[in-house]
């Protein structure tokens, strides 16, 4: 089964240089592709990807947004361009270790049909104490309001089947609510522990306050959606007499 790894990135050229090599090693021997979605970067991301792609052990595709659209919509671009039946996502800042991609994909494929998403749960977080506290509070609040069983919805490492991924609603914030949106489609979630890594180059593009404000608005929207939208029947639940 072909795997499409989607990497949304904005001004992450130095981190991508290492990440592409690591993804090639992690996916060696697998039917896979890597799709870098450059979300309106102003650095030399395109040049770095072109240089690394020429020697990569797995096919690397480059897609560019001429203007930044945000991480979730960069993911959407990659999801609809993917050729694989399974999609794995990973952040472009290098803090996610690609060696866990096969673990998440194999867990998904080895789970029953009721499981729709496998999410990474970060251990040994390298973020500041304030960010760890904010992330923990946000995860508890999401679980309380959405009942999505997500332990670490902010982790960029996830695996989903492509057809399911294309069915969830996309908005500027989808990536933080994928477990809840997948559950809305009638599927469950499984977690795999992954080790967090420090960022080698650059700094985070998000602050605690701005992410918190946007996250609260998105949380209210997803909670409303869950209240107003009944669970969609899966194909096996539909009879054609």
Q: Which residue has the higher pLDDT, 203 or 239?
A: 239
Q: How large is the average pLDDT for residues 61-72?
A: 95
Domains of the chain by start residue, with CATH: 3-230 (3.90.550.10)
pLDDT of residue 145: 62
pLDDT confidence tier of residue 173, bands split at 50, 70 and 90: confident
pLDDT confidence tier of residue 204, bands split at 50, 70 and 90: low
> Is 233 a residue whose pLDDT tops 90?
no
In whole angstroms, give the CA distance from residue 105 to residue 159.
Answer: 6
Q: What's the pLDDT tens digit per position in 98-120?
A: 999 999 999 999 998 999 999 99
The per-residue pLDDT of the chain, averaged, comes to 85
Nearest to 104 by CA among 45, 178, 49: 178
pLDDT of residue 27: 96
pLDDT confidence tier of residue 153, bands split at 50, 70 and 90: confident
pLDDT of residue 162: 97
SS3 assignment for 21-73: HHHHHHCCCCCEEEEEEEECCCCCHHHHHHHHHCCCCCCEEEEEECCCCCHHH
């Amino acid at each position: 089964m072909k795997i499409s790894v989607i990497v949304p990135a904005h001004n992450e050229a130095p981190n991508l240089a290492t990440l592409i090599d690591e993804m090639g090693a992690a996916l060696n021997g697998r039917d896979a592709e890597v799709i870098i979605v450059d979300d309106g970067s102003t650095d030399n991301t395109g040049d770095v990807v072109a240089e690394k792609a020429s020697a990569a052990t797995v096919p690397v595709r480059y897609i560019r947004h001429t203007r930044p659209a945000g991480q979730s919509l960069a993911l959407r671009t990659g999801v609809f361009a993917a050729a694989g039946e399974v999609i794995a996502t990973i952040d472009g800042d290098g803090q996610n270790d690609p060696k866990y991609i096969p673990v998440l994909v194999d867990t998904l494929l080895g789970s029953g049909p009721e499981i729709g998403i496998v999410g990474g749960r970060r251990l040994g977080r390298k973020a500041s104490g304030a960010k760890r506290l904010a992330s923990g509070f946000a995860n508890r609040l999401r679980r309380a309001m959405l009942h999505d069983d997500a332990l670490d919805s902010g982790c960029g490492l996830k695996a989903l089947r492509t057809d399911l991924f294309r069915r969830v609603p996309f908005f500027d914030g989808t990536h933080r609510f994928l477990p809840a949106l997948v559950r809305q489609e009638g599927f469950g979630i499984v977690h795999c522990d992954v080790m967090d890594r420090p960022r080698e180059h650059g700094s985070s593009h998000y602050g605690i306050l701005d992410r918190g404000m946007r996250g609260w608005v998105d949380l209210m929207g997803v909670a409303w959606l869950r209240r107003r939208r009944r669970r969609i029947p899966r194909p096996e639940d539909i009879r054609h007499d």
